[in-house]
Structure 1
Amino acid sequence: MRRPRALAAVALAAAGALVVSGACTSAAQDRAAVAPAGGNGGLSGTAPCPGVEGFSCATLTVPLDHGGRVAGTLGLKVAMADNARATKGVLLFLTGGPGQPGVPFVDRLAKRLAPLLKDYRLVMIDQRGTGAGALQCPQLQQEMGSSDLTPPTERAVADCAAAIGPDRRFYGTGDTVADLELLRRALHVRKMTLDGVSYGTYTAERYALAHPHHVARLVLDSVVPQTGYDPMDRAALRAAPRVLTEACAAIGCHTDPAADLAEVVDTYHNGVDVLDALTTWEFVDPDYAAMIDALHTAAGGDPAPLQALIAGVRQGSAATAEELSQGLHASTLCLDGRYPWGRADAPTAGRREALEKAGAELTPADYGPFDAATATGLGTMLSCLYWPRTPVPPLPLEHRRLPGVPVLLLGGDRDLSTPLEWLYDQKKLTPRARVVVVPGAAHSVQSRAVSDKGRQAVFDFLLGR
């Protein structure tokens, strides 16, 4: 779900998109569907985006509390292509994290998606708590950077929650979905097609479930299933041997990286560090060549090269809150998620015991070549373990099938951040799914894959070819 910048070779990736098409509705329904809501949701201050030709930037005003119980508003930056009358409507590209802004990536994404932009109006938004409005948690930001696996300290998490204060309950995915509905109205369109990457896929899915009549198509790239993120990351733990073995075959290595991985974790008890490094390294090299070599050397008794890679990844994953807000990341995942102790409204007393009990019940079938300590010691799990008790919204109907609109499920077979297993989990809940897997690609296929197979699949899908 994250967007690491490993070793300065990795830029924070962008993700997500929305599209508009027509529907048979009455004139009264059309007016209601596109009308701004209740004094909020309007776009203001529209002006050319600095340094981005053909795009205008504006501010979308949304209520802090969509339930109306707490006063206050937020101003969310929006970038919009100037072709407002594009024949196929709006393409809203949703970035990931959670915690990553959208507007800073509009120029890069416009180049990547150029074949679509005569037909679609590209729109990007800084979701609440990101970009210029990022939730600021300096110590947590320093400790975790752009990772969601690096374990934070309890003090950093507690200080972050205290800095955000009671408003932290207004930064769940449901709040972002409500913001997107106000954006749709402010853009005066009836339907959108959502193309999200990573956490952006989850946001797109949640929007489609909440507003099925306002969705035309979905592109889901590097899929997080609508049933939510597993804080134990068991799919990634189990997928690591497959990914490394396929990468080894592709580069012609003569080792057994799956066996080496198991030996390393069993010998050094460093599963969290290894998984963190692996899921960052896919942004550096989807063939994982240096990691495969380092794992083999460590399995043979010399851990120094692997330790150096792990240290380099930590250093290279540094990110400012404006690039990826760890305050927003924690707020959202702790509100959205379910943990061994329950949800974020569970008392803090007893959480540790519940986590230990869940860890004791795990078997090798759950964590593959790793161990229970890896599954229970990842960054998101610990962030929410330490997160103070917070009111949570009602659980969504997450097992309801997506609306019967065309959906493209896109993934890379080397992705450990959002492994292919998640894509196929989502397929079970997607009536009109088309699946495209790009060999040799890792996370964020549209923006990062060397092969054009995934991008061409998106172009064909959205242009109706």
Structure 2
Amino acid sequence: MADNVRAAKGVLVFLTGGPGQPGVPFVARLSQKLAPVLKDYRLVMIDQRGTGANALKCPKLQEEMGSSDLTPPSAKAVTDCAAAIGPDRRFYSTGDTVADLETLRRALGVGKMTLDGVSYGTYTAERYALAHPQHVARLVLDSVVPQTGYDPMDRAALRAAPRVLTAACRATGCRTDPAADLAEVVKRYDNGVDVLDALTTWEFVDPDYAAVIDALHKAANGDPGPLRSLITSVRQGSAATAEELSQGLHASTLCLDGRYPWGRSNAPVAGRREALEKAGAQLTPADYGPFDAATATGLGSLLACLDWPRTPAPPLPSEHRRLPGVPVLLLGGDRDLSTPLEWLYDQKKLTPRARVVVVPGAAHSVQNRAAGDKGRQAVFDFLLGRH
């Protein structure tokens, strides 16, 4: 936690992503990023339960998935992780984090808080606002996960990939057709999960996707070597410790929060795979775009919850309740595949006082990572009430 001596506009709670990422290690960095507003706000950050110094540790699952949402884990790594956490795994839902935030608010002695969430942090902020509307002053939602929840088949990202790659290609003057190359590569090599995993990781490296676009073109024309090398390097570069991003917490939270083809976390394990196969058979190209049904049903977070032991499911808020009528900034980058813009516009439908800012050329986590200042300036203006 960090604060400032004067805080005319109250408390600003910054919520990091994952789930599984801590907050406290980023206090210094975020204090610099948010410096223009910290004369008026007291900055507060927390490590969500199960993260940071108290991270849930699952060595094999951590080794297999690193910082990725999409790398498929082995069933044994998943079940060993759940066994290591034990019955307490039922206490790591987003609802539990929301309750922790309310405890924090009371400890701070404030009536209202402004919440600034990135990625999964936006979902946490939305859930807090739905549960405690009278205690929210403003919301900044950067790289939006809608309050309706994460789609375990990631269909919005599958469909958005051609749009994102084509925009990146045009901006950089490349002379290929990355959308066509992507479709050909998935069809020829049956590697949709690996490609999507590489794409959603590469946006943190280069939101122009230049190396990926080049590798896709070569693979589409019969030379898969560069793409395979890129996928391997992405996997190696995604390594992360549990303290950096806990995959044990990631699985615990997503499996409790999620709605899956087999139901929720309290569904019997027997029958889940059959339900997933049935759901996959019903998918069409309108669902998965240039990818295929095997991609939609083979993503890491989905498979982790397929094998996660039966666990009591916490209640979830009504999907279509609108956020309270407080000022809300919806911020996104048009190159984001981790939380594609389609999710931002889904949330806009449920946000009465939404201000939308889309930053061209930016990918995931606009405040932290965008090269230009358009997104950050929009946050400053919003928090200081200039717009």
User: TM-score higher than 0.5 here?
Assistant: yes
Any residues of structure 2 matched to 1:42-441 within 5 Å, and which? 79-83=1-5, 85-441=6-362
Shift of 1:184: 0.4
Equivalent pairs, count: 386
Shift of 1:355: 0.3
Q: Distance in 1 between matches of 2:37 and 2:97?
A: 26
Query: The residue matched to 1:93 in structure 2 has which SS?
Result: strand
Q: Distance in 1 between matches of 2:142 and 2:3?
A: 22
Q: Distance in 2 between matches of 1:303 and 1:256?
A: 17
Cα displacement string for residues 158-190 of structure 1 (whole angstroms, at most 9, x for unaligned residues): 000000000000000000000000000111100
Letter of the 2:49 partner, please give it: R
Shift of 1:156: 0.1
Conserved 8 A contact 2:4-2:38: no
Letter of the 1:293 partner, please give it: D
Letter of the 1:158 partner, please give it: T
Q: Distance in 1 between matches of 2:259 and 2:230?
A: 32
Cα displacement string for residues 52-94 of structure 1 (whole angstroms, at most 9, x for unaligned residues): xxxxxxxxxxxxxxxxxxxxxxxxxxx12142x4100111100
Conserved 8 A contact 2:53-2:243: yes
Q: Distance in 2 between matches of 1:399 and 1:335?
A: 19
Normalising by structure 1, report the TM-score.
0.83
Q: Which has the higher helix share?
A: 2
Q: Distance in 2 between matches of 1:360 and 1:289?
A: 34
Query: The residue matched to 1:151 in structure 2 has which SS?
Result: coil
Letter of the 1:99 partner, please give it: G
Which aligned runs of 4 or more in structure 1 are off by greater than 6 angstroms? none
Q: Distance in 1 between matches of 2:33 and 2:216?
A: 35
Q: Distance in 2 between matches of 1:397 and 1:369?
A: 32
Shift of 1:398: 2.7
Q: Distance in 1 between matches of 2:334 and 2:52?
A: 31
Q: Distance in 1 between matches of 2:369 and 2:142?
A: 11
Conserved 8 A contact 2:119-2:144: yes
Q: Distance in 2 between matches of 1:338 and 1:138?
A: 26
Query: The residue matched to 1:429 in structure 2 has which SS?
Result: coil
Q: Distance in 2 between matches of 1:141 and 1:102?
A: 19
Shift of 1:395: 2.3
Shift of 1:394: 1.5
Cα displacement string for residues 226-249 of structure 1 (whole angstroms, at most 9, x for unaligned residues): 000000000000000000000000
Q: Which has the higher strand share?
A: 1
Shift of 1:399: 1.3
Letter of the 1:274 partner, please give it: V
Shift of 1:112: 0.5
Cα displacement string for residues 341-366 of structure 1 (whole angstroms, at most 9, x for unaligned residues): 00010000000000000000000000
Query: The residue matched to 1:223 in structure 2 has which SS?
Result: coil
Shift of 1:194: 1.0
Shift of 1:451: 1.0
Q: Distance in 1 between matches of 2:148 and 2:2?
A: 31
Map of 1:29 onto structure 2:
none
- Please give the root-mean-square deviation of Cα atoms over the aligned residues, in Å: 0.5
Q: Distance in 2 between matches of 1:80 and 1:463?
A: 19
Query: The residue matched to 1:136 in structure 2 has which SS?
Result: coil
Normalising by structure 2, report the TM-score.
0.99
Cα displacement string for residues 251-299 of structure 1 (whole angstroms, at most 9, x for unaligned residues): 1000000000000000000000000000000000000000000000000
Q: Structure 1: where are the runs of 5+ without partners? A: 1-78
Letter of the 1:297 partner, please give it: K
Letter of the 2:102 partner, please give it: E
Conserved 8 A contact 2:184-2:220: yes
Map of 2:374 onto structure 1:
453
Q: Distance in 2 between matches of 1:229 and 1:102?
A: 21
